[in-house]
Amino acid sequence: MTILYRVHHGLYVNLTNRCSCACTFCVRGLSDSVGEAGEPLAFPRADLRDLWLSKEPTAEEVIASLPDKNYNEVVFCGFGEPTEAWDTLTRVAHYVKETFGLPTRVNTNGLGSLICGRDIAPEFEGIIGTVSISLNAPDAKTYQKIVRSSFGEKSFEAVMDFAREVKCYAPNVVMTTVETTISHEDEERCRAICEKLGVRYRIRAWAG
The residue with greater pLDDT, 37 or 187, is 187
Q: What is the DSSP letter of 111?
A: -
Residues 94-117 have pLDDT tens digits of 999 999 999 999 999 999 999 999
Res 207: pLDDT: 62
| Cα gap 199→107, rounded to integer Å | 15
> How many CB atoms within 10 Å of residue 201?
18
Residues 149-178 have pLDDT tens digits of 999 989 999 999 999 999 999 999 999 999
| Cα gap 32→139, rounded to integer Å | 31
Q: Do 82 and 53 contact (CB within 8 A), yes or no? A: no
The contacts of residue 154 (CB under 8 Å, 6+ apart) are 140
Res 93: pLDDT: 98
Res 8: pLDDT: 83
Confidence band for 29, pLDDT divided at 50, 70 and 90 = low
Give helix then strand counts, H and E, for the chain: 6, 7
Residue 191 has pLDDT above 70, yes or no: yes
End-to-end Cα, the chain, rounded Å: 23
Residues 43-90 have pLDDT tens digits of 333 333 578 899 999 999 999 999 877 789 999 998 899 999 999 999
Distance of CA 70 to the CA centre of its chain: 21
Per DSSP, helices labelled H in the chain are 59-65, 86-99, 112-116, 140-147, 154-166, 184-197
> How many CB atoms within 10 Å of residue 44?
8
Residues 33-45 have pLDDT tens digits of 555 444 444 433 3
The contacts of residue 108 (CB under 8 Å, 6+ apart) are 81, 82, 83, 131, 132, 133, 134
Res 165: pLDDT: 98
Distance of CA 158 to the CA centre of its chain: 16
Residue 208 has pLDDT above 50, yes or no: no
Of residues 134, 111, 112, the one with CA closest to residue 181: 134
Q: Do 57 and 92 contact (CB within 8 A), yes or no? A: no
Res 137: pLDDT: 97
This prediction's pTM: 0.90
Q: Do 133 and 162 contact (CB within 8 A), yes or no? A: yes
